[in-house]
Structure 1
């Protein structure tokens, strides 16, 4: 039991540190390891609930940089995606095959992140209206099932945001609101139990500490290096989920 608590705490701490330092990564990293201990549904709900805490901690520092224009369409579509994700996770989240699917999703996300990190930004006015709708829905749907929808939000917000502070603020607001939608829907659906509450309480200290420490490195740490290290860990975990779950 003690080792389980330490395992969960360390995973959540590292994931929240990555998010504090680079703007995202909590869901990707946490969902690479939590399914080795819990079902997909339990892992996703724990990660989503603690992502709300992580995002709120970071957003409290950068909320003044929010760009509501860049968020409107993205958030609307992401919420629609989360509603769809609720029905899938609620009904199929206990199946072992979902862990293998998660493994493939994780590897796909790694390829996506590494292949898109050098894309040039373009002014907001040149971004098609369809882009935030598509990216928002995919991020909401995949994030609500596997908690790995962050890269879709990142792709759009890196284009649409004014600067890195606006990007971080918008991203955390997106994670916060979509996370609240997911937790509320599953709470009403009866998916939150005493085990969830216990590990949620265990994880709160880890995510607050990790995200605050990560934010201290926001100015000086290379986000590219963070993404490479995190991507390597996620890829290994994804392969393990495919082969051994």
Structure 2
């Protein structure tokens, strides 16, 4: 593990965790996209590492904020997510063994669609959506979580429409992502496909995640939620295009 690689991963982890703590999403997307662009770590290994760091970020966020979790959306989202994590994990192994180019293309398209979702804000609901809707969007998020440890976009789209406070939305999303990450890590362990250096890379990124999570909550920037969403949009869009354009051009 070259020292410059460790330093870069620490910086990327810090930036992704900072955005995640402020908005409730984007950690996995930003970090996975950056890893794919830099070629720092193989993508299947990166998914495991991101799962570790997602848990670390969630612990810092939820230590004081867990009471704001919206219990019904949280439980229903997990009901849909858990089985689909298995499906996504199987798809990742198939793509990684057959076509890394296809894997990068899929990841890039997912990131681009997620970035557009931030700008095209959905209309708010007057009341909580139906229970099956949370299961459905949770399942879509679980599929993406199994693929790339990035369960955010479908569920973020749905939860941000709900008549809930920003704190409830953020804490609910972070809690769902944490359980998804934990289940995926158990799945990797049970399959016997644990990457040799995953724990070391995770420990290398952990200080950045912990510092960013604390700093974002203790000294949040004087920016509106709309501004934060636009910044996250730009970061995600650039990351996604950087993955997709070379594949299409090639």
Structure 1 length-normalised TM: 0.91
Match in the other structure for 1:53: 56
In structure 1, which of residues 107, 115, 118 is the aligned counterpart of residue 112 of structure 2?
107
**Does 2:5 correspond to 1:4?**
yes
Match in the other structure for 2:18: 17
Q: State the alpha-carbon separation in 2 of the partners of residues 77 and 164 from structure 1.
A: 23
Match in the other structure for 2:189: 187
Q: How does 1:87-236 map to 2 (within 5 A)?
A: 87-94=90-97, 95-96=99-100, 97-116=102-121, 119-124=123-128, 127-160=129-162, 162-218=164-220, 220-236=222-238
Q: For the aligned residues, what is the CA RMSD?
A: 1.9
Match in the other structure for 1:33: 34
- Asked if the contact 2:125/2:163 (under 8 Å) is kept, the reply is no
Q: State the alpha-carbon separation in 2 of the partners of residues 220 and 122 from structure 1.
A: 29
Tell me how far 1:161 sits from its aligned partner. Answer: 5.8
- Asked if the contact 1:86/1:145 (under 8 Å) is kept, the reply is yes
Q: State the alpha-carbon separation in 1 of the partners of residues 30 and 219 from structure 2.
A: 18
Q: State the alpha-carbon separation in 2 of the partners of residues 130 and 76 from structure 1.
A: 10
Q: State the alpha-carbon separation in 2 of the partners of residues 67 and 219 from structure 1.
A: 26
Tell me how far 1:220 sits from its aligned partner. Answer: 4.4
- Asked if the contact 2:149/2:181 (under 8 Å) is kept, the reply is no
Tell me how far 1:19 sits from its aligned partner. Answer: 0.9
SS of aligned partner of 1:93: helix
The 1:223/1:144 distance shift into structure 2, 3 A limit, reads farther
Q: State the alpha-carbon separation in 2 of the partners of residues 210 and 13 from structure 1.
A: 5
- Asked if the contact 1:21/1:221 (under 8 Å) is kept, the reply is no
Q: State the alpha-carbon separation in 1 of the partners of residues 138 and 55 from structure 2.
A: 17
* Structure 1 unaligned regions, length at least 5: none
Match in the other structure for 1:85: 88
CA offsets 1:168-202 (integer angstroms, 9 cap, x no match): 22111101111100011011212222311110110
- Asked if the contact 2:123/2:161 (under 8 Å) is kept, the reply is no
Tell me how far 1:122 sits from its aligned partner. Answer: 2.3
Tell me how far 1:90 sits from its aligned partner. Answer: 3.1
The 1:78/1:243 distance shift into structure 2, 3 A limit, reads same
Q: State the alpha-carbon separation in 1 of the partners of residues 192 and 59 from structure 2.
A: 25
The 1:92/1:190 distance shift into structure 2, 3 A limit, reads farther
- Asked if the contact 1:85/1:142 (under 8 Å) is kept, the reply is yes
* Structure 2 unaligned regions, length at least 5: none
